[in-house]
Structure 1
Amino acid sequence: MKYISALLALFLILSLLTCNAATCFAAEAGSENTADSEDALSLAAPSAILMEADTGTILYEKNSHERLRPASVTKIMTLLLIFEALEKGQIHSDDTVTVSEHASEMGGSQVYLETGETQTVNDLIKCISIASANDAAVAMAEYIDGTEEAFVAHMNEKAKTLNMNDTTFVNCCGLEADGHLTSAHDIALMSRELSNNHPQIHDYCTIWMDHITHTTRKGTSDFGLTNTNKLLRQYSYCTGLKTGYTSQSGFCLSATATRDHINLIAVVMAEENSKIRNKEAVSLLDYGFAHCQVYSDPLDSKLPDLTVSRGKQDSIGLAYASPFQYVITDGSSSEEITKELHIPDSLEAPVKKGDTVGCIEFHIGKRLLGSVDIIAKETVPAATLADCYLDCLSMLLLK
C-alpha cells in the first residue's frame, strides 16, 4: 500500500512539473511570436511608422515618438499652411512673390532665388515640392505671414491642433537649428493632414522634372528642377511626399503610396544613406499593402422616418452622420462584417437638425469595429398650446 502511495505521489509530482513546463513553454512561445510580429520588418531605422491614411490607423511603429531632427521633411508643414492659405483665399496660385534678402540667403537645397526676384506662388510650390528649395520655402513663409518667425509660430500652432505633441519647429525649411525636433508619429500626422485635405499636393510632388525661369537684373534664364524623391522611379505606387537630409538628421522620408484604394504613409528617420532609406520605406509600404484591407461602407441606404410626439410635425427623417471605414489588419474578411441598427421607436420634440438619435454598429463576430451616428435631418420644434388647440379644432371639423 505504501509502495502504491509512493508511486501515486511521484506520478503527481511529475505531472505538475510537466504541466508547468508546458505552460512556461507556451508563454515563452507567445512572447516570442509577439516580438516577431512587432519586429517583423527588422528595420535599421531608429524610428519609423506606417499609417493607413484614410482612417489614421497605425499598422506598424518603432520608437515612433522619439524626437529627432526632420531636415527638409519639415516642409510638409510649410506646404500644409501654404495650401490652407490658398483654400482660404488669403493667397492665390498666380500671385507674384518678391524674394527678400533673407530668403535668398538660405543655404542647403535651393533654387538660387535672388533678392528682388519675383516668382509666382505656383512656381514656388513646385520649387518646394520637387527640389526641396529652402529659399522658396522662406519666400512663401514671408509672403503668408510677413516674417519667417511669424510663420514658424503659425506652424507650431497648427502642430498643436494636430496633436503633434513631439514637435517644435524653429524654422520653415528644416535647416539645422537647436530644438528643431519632431517624431515619425508627428510627421505621419501632418502628412495625413496635407494628403487628405489637399490632395493636389500629389500633382506637385509626383513631378519628376520641371523648370522655373529666373528673371533678374542679369537677364532671363531657365533653372531645372529634379525631384529629390527617387522613390517615384523605384516604386510604382508612390505618390509622394517629402525627403530630408542633413549631416545631423541623417536620411529621412515621408512616403505616400496608393494601391487598390488603400492609401499608406510610411515614415523613416535618421537612416544611414538614401538607399537604405528608400529600401526600408518600400518594405513598410509592401508590409502595409499585404496586411491591410480597407472596408468602406458609404451608408447611402435610406433610413426609416421616426414618429415624433408633442412636436409641430408627426415624423422626422434620419441620416447617417458619415460613411464608415475600417482597416482590417488581422486577416479577417470584409464579408464577416455585420451591421446593427440602433434607433428608438419614436422621439419626443423638440428635436434639432443634427441631433444624434441613434447609431449603426459594425462587428466581426462579437468584436465591435466602430459605429456611425444617426442624426436628425431636420428640426422639429415642440408643439405649443396654440398648435394643440388647432389640432383639436381640425379633428372636430373633420368629424
Structure 2
Amino acid sequence: MFIKKTFWKATTAFLLAACISLGGFVQTSYAEEDLMEFAKKSGYPIKEGYRPKASIVIDADSGQILWEEQPDLSWSPASIAKVMTMYLAFEAMEQGKFNLDTTVTATEKYVKISQIYALSNSKITLGVEYPVRDLFSMVAVPSSNVATLMLANLVSDNDEAGFIHKMNEKAAELGMTNTTYFNSSGAQISAFDGLYQAPGIDPEGDNKSTARDLAILTYNLIKKYPDVLQFTNKPVVTTMENTPYAETFETYNYSLPGAKYGYDGVDGLKTGSSPTGGFNYIATAKKGDIRLIEVVLGVGDWSDQEGEYERHLAGNAILDHAFSTYEYKKLLSKGSNKINEKEITLEQDFYGFAKKDTELSFTLADGKLSLNNEYDQVSPTIPARSVPYQESNSKSVVDPSAKSEKKKATQPSSIKKEEHPYLLTGILAILGLLLLILSKIFRKRIAGTRRGSRKTSTPTTRLLFILGTLLILSAVCVFIFL
C-alpha cells in the first residue's frame, strides 16, 4: 500500500510540475481582455504600431482598477507633467495664498519664453496682468509652457528649483512611488534658452512617471479639487475674454464631445506629447453616477503625428470596455448574509463595481467586508470599498450521539480517499496537459497561416486553453484537499 501510494504521489507531483513549467501556455489575458480585440469590437479600432506602451483605467471614486496593461512601465509623461503643477496651484489656493482672480504681471522674461517657437505657448504681452483663471485655461488647453511657469512661480514665490522639489515631495506624499520631476511643464529646462533657472536641477532631466502614478495623481486631484474640470471640459476656450489680448484655442483632447473623436461623458483632463514620450493622454469620463479615470502612455512615435489622434481611439476603446464590462450596483443587502460559510450581518447595503455576469466573492477581515477584485487598488494607500459587518454568534446544537454515528459512517469513505485521490489527480492533470498542448499546437498553426497578424487564437483554441486550465486547477484542488 505504501509503495502504491508513494508512486501516485510522485506521478501526480511530476505532472503538476510539468503543467506549471509550461509558461508558454499561460496567456496574459483572454481574448475579450486584449486591447486590440476589444478596441475592434467597440468601434474604435487601433492601428498596428499605435498600441499604447502602458495604460490603466480606474474608478474615480474608489481607486479600484478596472483594467490595466503595463501600469508600472516608466515613461516620459511630456506635458501631462502640468497636471502636478495645476494640483499644487489648487493646493496653494486652498491654503489662501491666492485665488482665481489673482493676477500675474507679464515680465520681459515671460514674453521671451512665449516667443520660443519650439515650445507650445500662448501669447504674452509685456506689462499685462493675467488672472490665474486664464493661466489655468492656457495650461490645460493649449498646454502653454509660459503660462505653466507663471503659475508655478506664483506658487513658489519665483523659486523655480523649490517648486520642482515641491512636485517631487507631493508625488511621494500621494504614493506616486515611480515618479520623478525635473521641470514643471514637461519641456526640459534646457529648452527655455536659459530663461528657466532651477539651481541644483539637471537641465537635461526628463520627467518620468507611470500610468499607475498618473492615475493616482488624477484620482487625488479630482477628489480634492474637482473645479479643475471646468478648465478641461470644453473643446474650445477663449482666454482674456473682452480684452485686446483675447485668444481662442481648440483642445488637443479630441475625445471631448464635440471634438474629432468625441466620446460621451468625457470631461477632461490633459494630453501630452514629446520626442521621448510619444503621445500620452489622461481622460476622465462620467456616465450617470460613475466616473472613470484613464491614462494612456506612449502611443505611436513623435516622428509620426498620427499618434496625436490614435491615442484617443485607444482611450475611447479602454473607456468603452470598462463601462460595458463593469457595472456599479448593490452587491449585498443590509442585514443577514452568508459569506464564506459564515453568517454575518451587514450594517448597510454594500455597493461596488463588479464585472457583469460573474460570480462574486468577498473577503471578511477586521470587521469589514470587501469585494474580491480581479485587479488591486491603484494604490495601497487607497482602501478598497468596504462595509462593516458583525458575525453571528449563534451555533446550532448537535446531538453528541448523532455526531458519533456520523463519524463512524464516514470512516470507510475516508479510507477510499486515501486510496484514490492521487489516481484522480493524475488523470485530471494528464487531460488538462493534453488540452493545453492541443491549444498551443493549433495556435502555432494559425500563427503560421496568418503571418503579420497579432491574432493567433480562435474560439476553439481559447476553449481548449480554458478547459485545460480548469482540469489542471481541479487536479491541484484534489491533490491539496482530498
TM-score normalised by length of structure 1:
0.68
Amino acid paired to 1:229: N
- Which residue does the alignment assign to 1:257? 285
Residues 214/24 of structure 1: CA separation in 2 closer, same or farther (3 Å cut)? closer
1:143 equivalent to 2:154? Answer: yes
Q: Secondary structure at 1:165's aligned position in 2?
A: coil
- Which residue does the alignment assign to 1:388? none
- Which residue does the alignment assign to 1:328? 354
Offset, 1:248: 2.4
Q: Secondary structure at 1:361's aligned position in 2?
A: strand
Q: Distance in 1 between matches of 2:180 and 2:148?
A: 18
Q: Distance in 2 between matches of 1:155 and 1:281?
A: 26
User: What does the per-residue CA deviation read over 1:74-97, in whole Å, with 9 as the maximum and x for residues that have no partner?
Assistant: 111111111111222211111111
Q: How many residues were matched structurally?
A: 314
Q: Distance in 2 between matches of 1:162 and 1:323?
A: 30
- Within-5 A mapping of 1:248-327: 248-272=276-300, 273-295=307-329, 326-327=352-353
Q: Secondary structure at 2:248's aligned position in 1?
A: strand
Q: Secondary structure at 1:231's aligned position in 2?
A: coil
Residues 371/223 of structure 1: CA separation in 2 closer, same or farther (3 Å cut)? closer
Residues 89/360 of structure 1: CA separation in 2 closer, same or farther (3 Å cut)? same
Offset, 1:31: 2.9
- Which residue does the alignment assign to 1:197? 224
Residues 100/152 of structure 1: CA separation in 2 closer, same or farther (3 Å cut)? farther
Q: How large is the RMSD of aligned CA atoms in angstroms?
A: 3.8
Q: Distance in 1 between matches of 2:329 and 2:24?
A: 32
- Which residue does the alignment assign to 1:31? 26
Amino acid paired to 1:163: G
Residues 69/38 of structure 1: CA separation in 2 closer, same or farther (3 Å cut)? farther
Q: Distance in 2 between matches of 1:159 and 1:253?
A: 19
Amino acid paired to 2:386: S
Higher strand proportion (structure 1 or 2): 1
- Within-5 A mapping of 1:121-132: 121-132=132-143
Among 53, 67, 74, the residue aligned to 1:67 = 74
Answer whether contact 1:111 1:127 (CA < 8 A) is retained.
Answer: yes
Answer whether contact 2:62 2:385 (CA < 8 A) is retained.
Answer: no
Amino acid paired to 2:270: K
Q: Secondary structure at 1:171's aligned position in 2?
A: coil
Amino acid paired to 1:92: N
Q: Secondary structure at 1:81's aligned position in 2?
A: helix
Q: Secondary structure at 1:242's aligned position in 2?
A: strand
Residues 327/123 of structure 1: CA separation in 2 closer, same or farther (3 Å cut)? same
Amino acid paired to 1:282: N
Residues 180/117 of structure 1: CA separation in 2 closer, same or farther (3 Å cut)? same
Q: Distance in 1 between matches of 2:162 and 2:297?
A: 27
Among 46, 49, 53, the residue aligned to 2:56 = 49
- Which residue does the alignment assign to 2:177? 165
State which drifts further: 45-54 or 94-103: 94-103
Amino acid paired to 1:126: S
Q: Distance in 1 between matches of 2:251 and 2:205?
A: 28
Q: Distance in 1 between matches of 2:326 and 2:24?
A: 25
Offset, 1:35: 2.9
Q: Secondary structure at 1:181's aligned position in 2?
A: coil
Offset, 1:133: 1.1
Q: Distance in 2 between matches of 1:143 and 1:29?
A: 55
Q: Secondary structure at 1:285's aligned position in 2?
A: helix
Q: Secondary structure at 1:65's aligned position in 2?
A: coil
User: What does the per-residue CA deviation read over 1:264-308, in whole Å, with 9 as the maximum and x for residues that have no partner?
Assistant: 1111111111222010001110111112223469x999xxxxxxx
Q: Distance in 2 between matches of 1:72 and 1:28?
A: 39
Answer whether contact 1:83 1:198 (CA < 8 A) is retained.
Answer: yes
Residues 329/245 of structure 1: CA separation in 2 closer, same or farther (3 Å cut)? same
Amino acid paired to 2:264: S
Structure 2 unpaired stretches of 5+? 1-10, 37-49, 189-203, 301-306, 336-346, 373-383, 390-482
Q: Distance in 1 between matches of 2:63 and 2:34?
A: 21
- Within-5 A mapping of 1:227-238: 227-232=251-256, 233=259, 234-238=262-266
TM-score normalised by length of structure 2:
0.57
- Within-5 A mapping of 1:104-119: 104=111, 105=113, 107=116, 108-119=119-130
Amino acid paired to 2:26: S
Offset, 1:183: 1.1
- Which residue does the alignment assign to 1:210? 237
Identity %: 26
User: What does the per-residue CA deviation read over 1:290-343, in whole Å, with 9 as the maximum and x for residues that have no partner?
Assistant: 12223469x999xxxxxxxxxxxxxxxxxx8x996532136448xx79999x9x
Q: Distance in 2 between matches of 1:266 and 1:221?
A: 35
Offset, 1:195: 1.5
Residues 182/38 of structure 1: CA separation in 2 closer, same or farther (3 Å cut)? farther
- Which residue does the alignment assign to 1:154? 166
Structure 1 unpaired stretches of 5+? 1-15, 302-319, 343-357, 375-399
Amino acid paired to 2:167: M
Residues 39/126 of structure 1: CA separation in 2 closer, same or farther (3 Å cut)? same
Amino acid paired to 1:371: S
Amino acid paired to 2:99: H
Q: Distance in 1 between matches of 2:271 and 2:326?
A: 25
1:371 equivalent to 2:394? Answer: no
Answer whether contact 1:38 1:60 (CA < 8 A) is retained.
Answer: no
Answer whether contact 1:241 1:256 (CA < 8 A) is retained.
Answer: yes
Q: Distance in 1 between matches of 2:73 and 2:57?
A: 15
Offset, 1:47: 1.3
Q: Secondary structure at 1:200's aligned position in 2?
A: helix
Residues 180/29 of structure 1: CA separation in 2 closer, same or farther (3 Å cut)? closer
Answer whether contact 1:100 1:139 (CA < 8 A) is retained.
Answer: no
Residues 161/339 of structure 1: CA separation in 2 closer, same or farther (3 Å cut)? closer
Amino acid paired to 1:86: M
Q: Distance in 1 between matches of 2:55 and 2:362?
A: 34
Answer whether contact 2:81 2:207 (CA < 8 A) is retained.
Answer: no
